[in-house]
Amino acid sequence: MGTSKSILASLTSEKAKWMYRKMVEIREFEEMVHDIFAKGELPGFVHLYAGEEAVAVGVCAHLTDQDSITSTHRGHGHCIAKGCDLDGMMAEIYGKSTGLCKGKGGSMHIADIEKGMLGANGIVGGGFPLAVGAGLTAKVKKTDHVAVCFFGDGANNHGTFHEGINMAAIWNLPVIFVAENNGYGEASTFEYASSCTNIADRAAGYNIPGEIVDGKDLLAVYEAAERAVKRARNGEGPTLIECKTYRDYGHFEGDAQTYKNDKEKVEQRDHNDCIKRFKDYALANNLATKEDLDAIEDSVKKAIEHSVKFGEESPLPDASELTKDVYVSYE
Amino acid sequence: MGTSKSILASLTSEKAKWMYRKMVEIREFEEMVHDIFAKGELPGFVHLYAGEEAVAVGVCAHLTDQDSITSTHRGHGHCIAKGCDLDGMMAEIYGKSTGLCKGKGGSMHIADIEKGMLGANGIVGGGFPLAVGAGLTAKVKKTDHVAVCFFGDGANNHGTFHEGINMAAIWNLPVIFVAENNGYGEASTFEYASSCTNIADRAAGYNIPGEIVDGKDLLAVYEAAERAVKRARNGEGPTLIECKTYRDYGHFEGDAQTYKNDKEKVEQRDHNDCIKRFKDYALANNLATKEDLDAIEDSVKKAIEHSVKFGEESPLPDASELTKDVYVSYE
Amino acid sequence: MTKKLTFSKAINEAITLAMNKDNDVILIGEDVAGGAEVDHLQDQEAWGGVMGVTQGIVEKFGRNRVIDTPIAEAGYIGASVTAAATGLRPIAELMFNDFIGSCLDEVMNQGAKLRYMFGGKARVPLTIRTMHGAGYRAAAQHSQSLYALFTHIPGLKVVVPSTPYDAKGLLLSSIFDDDPVIFFEDKTLYTMKGEVDEGFYTIPIGKADIKRKGKDLTIVAIGKQVHTALKAANQLSKKGYEAEIVDPRSLSPLDEDTILDSVAKTGRLIIVDEAYPRCNVATDISAMVVDKGFDYLDAPIKMITAPHSPVPFSPSLEDLYLPNPEKIMAAFAEMIGDNSIASK
Amino acid sequence: MTKKLTFSKAINEAITLAMNKDNDVILIGEDVAGGAEVDHLQDQEAWGGVMGVTQGIVEKFGRNRVIDTPIAEAGYIGASVTAAATGLRPIAELMFNDFIGSCLDEVMNQGAKLRYMFGGKARVPLTIRTMHGAGYRAAAQHSQSLYALFTHIPGLKVVVPSTPYDAKGLLLSSIFDDDPVIFFEDKTLYTMKGEVDEGFYTIPIGKADIKRKGKDLTIVAIGKQVHTALKAANQLSKKGYEAEIVDPRSLSPLDEDTILDSVAKTGRLIIVDEAYPRCNVATDISAMVVDKGFDYLDAPIKMITAPHSPVPFSPSLEDLYLPNPEKIMAAFAEMIGDNSIASK
Ligand SMILES: Cc1ncc(C[n+]2csc(CCOP(=O)(O)OP(=O)(O)O)c2C)c(N)n1
Ligand SMILES: Cc1ncc(C[n+]2csc(CCOP(=O)(O)OP(=O)(O)O)c2C)c(N)n1
Ligand SMILES: [Mg+2]
Ligand SMILES: [Mg+2]
């Protein structure tokens, strides 16, 4: 698995089990959303994170609620890794009043600022400046909080990538830019849309470290993120981490995925699953027992089922909510 | 002067004199604008190109009227190098009906599309996508025309830099990005605002060639541009050329320039003048005689004086012009 | 000869006809072909846009003229402006009108002003197609109807069709217009079917269409809201009132005469615009009628719009957010002081 | 205690007071300090913005709180949105409002909608100061008055002061408001002097001010156009007509009551808005008055605006472009059918 000894040393069994749990939560959550969307029970656009769990979890493992993340249209995984409540998430996706955003945001705007989750974003590239803003607050207020910007390979060609990273670099902000290079932006491949060979290659143009990791290897992500977070907290500035990964589902639910090649699908989805890989590793290295992991899986399944019931049964928002929350100061 | 032999071979006396003339035209034009602005005779914002002549001229020496350039707020030099009429330019800056844009554009929007000069631009970074568009036309229509995007060190941090260069790179467009790194964007230094050491360093992130040249050395610019234009016409894609240069005046007329350091001002303006440097070179290498150059200087002075008279004496636009030219199809 | 087509297919057909007619017409945008340079992908399987509207076009015209772009709206919309000024006639797709936030400069400061700033020496024959509209459960950043922003800006033309027939004819006019046109497509209308003429035809930009004749009330409705207005009109008809429905079809330029003539006849005006209420097209039309047709008015002009709030995700809230026939009926009831109408 | 201050100094003073009062207030923008990290540059010599409005502030508060940015409007305006949401109270300067083209997304889709999309769980106490207005010979991309675009967008507040006194009090309110506020400064007003109270005071956002009392005509005028209206009112007074001038000061929220009360009294309304004519604030106010105060009106509402065209560079054209007292007089003359007014 190519993971260095130093990680093994710092990685507690507790952390390993937390990470396993979070990955399974994401997977089960997304599979469930996939199913209920297919049944026509969910409104709107839904983009699933399944397959990329190691990225969100490996990074968020180093963060506290005071640290911020900015997410993307594919935001469920980031939410879960950052500790958002599953019931609140599912209710949000159902558009219910008990949702994290009272049903007003939905899948594309799911957020929980108390957990430092600054929102999924319907705008590709929207997160770069927003992460920089959280980093700026940390710098001006002299806290040791960090901000993480998750973004896709498609977003890497948006102007905000450039503006955000340049600002973080010149101000030496505690911001970590985490590329989720899953090979596609909608139906367009990374190779077609991006002139760089790797996203991390662009880091040199900002004089910041750029690292490439196997995004299917939880511990590789975990380790790179550990270094980057440490640098950020020490006032050593931003890092760009490129995680090579794959999305198991289409761009959004309903996508026929004609652009994907079958071999790659099988290879990635069936033979390079990040959860399976970590499970094998954890067992082989005595980070957890089979019973531990089974128990986690069980408990997660129940939690997800609970969230669906909660989402389904929760009330729709009251009509009065329509024009509430537009302003703080008046309705 | 560090200019290679190969250039000397290809550079005719005629071209050398043309370039000398264009540089002197720019200088004299700008000195004149400086003077009449100081007298309060010119309206609006004016940004002078004096000091940077070698860049516009060294690049445009390789272009025809069918090739396009996009310019900046500091656009007079690009206009002149691209062959725009001096009378029409001066009249434009005066806001007269005989101006290149009938007085509607002014200094910041001076343009002559028949000469392939796609406009000065009041929006920093505005030129990147526009140059790409001209390059796209060339590609789709399979002509051998090229497009040049002049931009400043300040613009190099705008999102359009990133989007424009990436697009030119993936489509292999005939676009040349020419950075005029004069060390400042308004009062902010390049070092402060940019995380890169050189603008050209960013080229690697787009897998295109990036070159640094002494922007005060006309022939260095000329040579680099020759290579880039050749590549572009041959379908070998975009190039980024960074010209290290200096603006002799302030950001705009009226700027006290407290941020500039005096030593640098003297060094650059008095001891590193691009016109003087090329003059010495041309004489030493028998590209022109002293008489030739004197005659050029004389003739340019007269042309500039003529342009002022033309500008002053031309009529203001007719009131009916106010709402004309908004649309092609109706007023 | 006519045939039944969906709104989506009508647009596809217009693009195809335009590209057949003129080699300078190109189609450019994010995944407008879909899956560029994917080895195994046959062009006929390519996406054709996120909603499949341009499906099949790359197969016919090839990737030199149907160009997938990176996710870089400022980049490719800006490029389309000068591509237009230097000899092409681009159809650029801005996937959702909400994404204008990433490229307003290119539209407002470059494309719209180029000709004027250049003293009339340039033309920008650019069409920007873009999706708008609420009702798709697409939440705050994918549901706006931002045509007022574009109508505000001189130098742009703004077209909002409500039927497949209009969409096809107006898109062809837009493409062959020599000014920049923003062409709005309501995402909830794509599956709507309607009669469309065969072959090439155009509908002039700047000419409103009377979608229903009536004498008691004028309803000016924009885009999809034309259908809301038609429903209301049917119900009103049962109560004995005949509403005339004016579909402006183009907001800039606006066909003031057709609106004024209708109001002169009916004396009453309701404007239905699903956009945000402040500085929107409803206020624009109201102010125009007050300025130029004050004496025609027997009652205050009423505007049915969204509330001053972002578009909510929750279906129940989104349904409340949008105009509907009941709101129109209630406004008319108030206008003529007849409560029996509103209560149905 | 009052003193005479320029509009520019009034703004400078408001920023200084706010930064003294609250350490979370920061000032961020292009050259708002001016000359960051230039060795020899003393802070007191630093630019303080392209027009010198923020001169001296970096000297008082240091570069940790007065932050020069790269030319990256999307970047630093977006950063200001979340800086606000995570504990700061930024004053971000968007040098010219025309540059909104580079950062509309951050304002419209992020800043304005964050709170709503998050179900009320976030606040964005952000103030964006920005220059607007024609008359400076700054041409098409530096002379616009784009407040209608912002007024259209729910979630934003929009403030346009016309005097030094209002500028100071409204800027202080804006900075300490918990919602995002766009604060417009007319570049041609910076040198205007006026009485300003000493020390800290606020003027409520959403409260119009009657700049002149009158009974024959209501003129609602925005920003600098308040002064155009005052000039017209003086001339009208000589002809025996007293105009009441309402300065809305904030466009969103709009003080509808003050406008309606005035129109109820005068029966006549002229709106002076130098912005583009379509979907602008003039149409917005006209439509509001027609909706809510139709019966007060004795005559059509007239709007004095720019023509539907970009701002021309040439001084002679720009002068024609802008509203002026003569245009107001002519509108009133037409309104009451008294030609002797217009001809002076
Ligand atoms: C500014 C903007 N442009 C376009 C879109 C439409 N869009 C949504 S997701 C997406 C692809 C994003 O690709 P990537 O960044 O690689 O993320 P992934 O979907 O692969 O996770 C696009 C084009 C958008 N939402 N915002
Ligand atoms: C989008 C945008 N932001 C800010 C400005 C204001 N502005 C005009 S010129 C300039 C500095 C440009 O610096 P640089 O690109 O280095 O060009 P230079 O002036 O040095 O030639 C700035 C900030 C602008 N015109 N457009
Ligand atoms: Mg991707
Ligand atoms: Mg510079």
Query: Which amino acid is residue B12, in one-letter code?
Result: T
Tokens of A156: 């890497």
Residue from C40, C132, C142, C152 carrying the catalytic annotation: C142
User: If we measure between CA atoms, which residue out of C205, C167, C214, C208 comes closest to residue C186?
Assistant: C167
Q: Does residue B275 line the site of ligand 2, with CB under 6 A?
A: no
D64 C-alpha vs ligand 2 centroid, how far in Å?
23
Listed as ranges, residues in chain C with pLDDT below 50 are none
Mutate-to-test residue for ligand 2 from B73, B121, B130, B189, highest number of ligand atoms within 8 A of CB: B73
CA A258 to chain centre: 25
Q: Both tokens of residue B287?
A: 């590209």
pLDDT single digits (tens) D233-277: 999 999 999 999 999 999 999 999 999 999 999 999 999 999 999
Residue D42 above 90 pLDDT?
no
Rounded average pLDDT over A313-318? 98
Mutate to test the pocket of ligand 1, among A182, A186, A257 (most ligand atoms within 8 A of CB): A186
Tell me the chain A residues in contact with residue D114 when contact means C-beta distances shorter than 8 Å: 119
Q: Which residues contact B258 (CB under 8 A, 6 or more apart)?
A: B187, D35, D41, D45, D46, D47
Q: What is the pLDDT of residue C342?
A: 73
Tens of pLDDT along C198-208?
Answer: 999 999 999 99
**Mean pLDDT estimate for chain A:** 96
Interface of C with B in 78-97 (CB under 8 A): 78-88
Within 6 Å (CB) of ligand 1, which residues are found?
A: A 72-74, 122-125, 152-155, 180, 182, 184-186, 251; C 30, 71, 73, 95, 99, 102
Interface of B to D at Cβ within 8 Å reads: 43-45, 95-97, 101, 103-109, 121-125, 154-155, 157-159, 185-189, 191-194, 258-259, 261, 316-317, 319, 321-323, 326
Cβ distance B169 to B139 under 8 Å?
no
Other Cβ atoms within 10 Å of C337 Cβ, number = 8
Subunit partners of chain A (3 or more CB pairs within 8 A): B, C, D
Residues of D with active-site annotation: 142
CB contact under 8 A, D316 and B45: no
d(C-alpha A105, C-alpha C317), whole Å: 11
Buried b vs exposed e over B109-132: b needs ≥16 C-beta within 10 Å?
bbbbbebbbbbbbbbbbbbbbbbb
pLDDT at residue D324 greater than cutoff 50: yes
Residue D83 and residue A140: Cβ atoms within 8 Å?
yes
pLDDT of A1 over the 50 cut:
no
The alpha carbon dihedral of B261, B262, B266, B269 has a sign of: positive
pLDDT, tens only, D104-149:
999 999 999 999 999 999 999 999 999 999 999 999 999 999 999 9
Average pLDDT for A11-29: 97
Give the DSSP H or E segment for C67: strand C66-68
Q: Is the pLDDT of residue D61 over 90?
A: yes
Q: Is the Cβ of D245 closer than 8 Å to some Cβ of chain A?
A: no
Q: Does B172 touch chain A (CB under 8 A)?
A: no
Q: What is the mean pLDDT of residues D321-338?
A: 96
Question: H helices of chain B, where?
Answer: 5-10, 13-38, 53-60, 76-81, 86-94, 127-141, 159-170, 190-193, 218-233, 262-271, 274-284, 290-313
Partners of residue B174 in chain C, C-beta under 8 Å: none
Kindly state the average pLDDT of the residues D5-16.
Answer: 98
Q: What is the pLDDT of residues A256-303, one digit of tens each?
A: 899 998 888 889 988 999 999 999 999 999 999 999 999 999 999 999
Residues of chain D in contact with residue B104, where contact means CB-CB under 8 angstroms, are 140, 312-314, 317
| CA distance linking residue D64 with residue D58, whole number of Å | 9
pLDDT at B1: 44
The answer to whether the CB of A273 falls within 8 A of the CB of A265 is no
Residues forming beta bridges with residue C91, ordered by sequence position: C27, C127
Mean pLDDT (whole number) for D36-57: 91
**What pLDDT is recorded for position C304?**
98
pLDDT of residue C40: 86
Q: What is the mean pLDDT of residues B18-36?
A: 98
Higher pLDDT among residues C263 and B43, named by residue:
C263
Question: Residue B201 has what DSSP assignment?
Answer: G
Q: Which chain C residues are Cβ-neighbours of A124 within 8 angstroms?
A: 71
Q: Which ligand is nearest to the CA of C131?
A: 1
Tokens of A258: 């004609």
Q: What is the pLDDT of residue D35?
A: 87
- Nearest C-alpha of chain A: how many angstroms from B171? 9
The nearest CA of chain A is from the CA of D292 a distance in Å of 20
Q: Cα(D76)–Cα(D206) distance, rounded to whole angstroms?
A: 27
Coil, helix or strand for C10?
A: helix
**pLDDT digits 0-9 by tens, A200-219:** 999 999 999 999 999 999 99
Per-residue pLDDT at D343: 56
Which one, of B213, B198, B212, lies nearest residue B156 by Cα? B198
B278 C-beta neighbours (distance < 10 Å), count: 29
Q: State pLDDT tens for residues D175-217.
A: 999 999 999 999 999 999 999 999 999 999 999 999 999 999 9
More confident residue, B310 or C340: B310
Which of B44, B97, B187 comes nearest D138 by C-beta?
Answer: B44
Nearest CA-CA partner of B31 in B72, B69, B80:
B80
Q: Which residue in chain A has the smallest CA separation from B160?
A: A159
Q: Residue A158: closest CA among chain C residues belongs to which residue?
A: C72
CB C245 within 8 Å of CB C233: yes
C155–D310 C-beta distance less than 8 A: yes
Strands (E), C98-238: 127-132, 157-159, 181-186, 193-197, 209-212, 217-221
Question: How far does the CA of residue D204 sit from the closest CA of chain A (Å)?
Answer: 12
How many Å lie between the alpha carbon of C265 and the closest alpha carbon of chain B? 28
What is the percentage of chain B residues whose pLDDT exceeds 90? Answer: 92
Model confidence pLDDT, tens digit, residues C151-170:
999 999 999 999 999 999 99
Beta-carbon-side half-sphere exposure of residue C298 (alpha carbons within 13 Å): 14
Closest CB from B114, B160, B327 relative to C74: B160
Taking alpha carbons only, the member of D112, D263, D275 closest to residue D186 is D275
Closest protein CA for atom 13 of ligand 1: A185
Q: Under an 8 A CB cutoff, do B188 and D30 touch?
A: yes
State the distance from the centre of ligand 1 to the C-alpha of C48, rounded, in angstroms.
16
pLDDT digits (tens, 9 = 90+) for B145-158: 999 999 999 999 99
pTM above 0.95, yes or no: yes
Number of neighbouring beta carbons within 10 Å of residue B320: 8
Indicate whether residue B250 lines ligand 2 (CB < 6 A).
no
Q: Which ligand is nearest to the CA of A73?
A: 1
Cβ pair D35:B157 closer than 8 A: no
CA of B149 to the centre of ligand 2 (A): 15
Distance CA B233, CA A243 (A): 37
Q: Pick the atom of ligand 1 nearest to A251's CA.
A: 19
How high is the pLDDT of residue B4?
53
Q: Please tell me the distance from the alpha carbon of residue C287 to that of residue D123, in angstroms, as a whole number.
A: 35
**Contact list, D282 vs chain C (CB under 8 Å):** 287
Q: What is the pLDDT of residue C36?
A: 87
Q: pLDDT band for position A4 (50/70/90)?
A: low
Q: Which of D104, D117, D312 sits opposite C140 (nearest CB)?
A: D117
Which atom of ligand 1 approaches the CA of C50 most closely? 6
Across the interface, whether the CB atoms of B259 and D312 are under 8 A apart is answered no
Best probe residue, ligand 2, of B46, B124, B178, B196 (max atoms within 8 Å of C-beta): B124
What is the rounded average pLDDT of the residues A25-37?
A: 98
SS (HEC) of chain D = CEEEEEHHHHHHHHHHHHHHHCCCEEEEECCCCCCCCCCCCCHHHCCCCCCCCCCCHHHHHCCCCEEECCCCHHHHHHHHHHHHHCCCEEEEEEEEHHHHHHCHHHHHHHHCCHHHHCCCCCCCCCEEEEEECCCCCCCCCCCCCCHHHHHHCCCCEEECCCCHHHHHHHHHHHHCCCCCEEEEEECCCCCCEEEEECCCCCCCCCCCEEEECCCCEEEEECCCHHHHHHHHHHHHHHCCCCEEEEECCEEECCCHHHHHHHHHHHCCEEEECCCCCCCCHHHHHHHHHHHHHHHHCCCCCEEECCCCCCCCCCHHHHHHHCCCHHHHHHHHHHHHCCHHHHCC
Cα–chain center distance at D229:
16
Tokens of C7: 């709104």
Mind telling me how many Å the CA of D22 is from chain A's nearest CA? 12
Q: What is the mean pLDDT of residues D210-231?
A: 98
How close does chain B come to D294, measured CA to CA in Å?
33
How many angstroms does the Cα of residue A150 sit away from the middle of ligand 3? 11
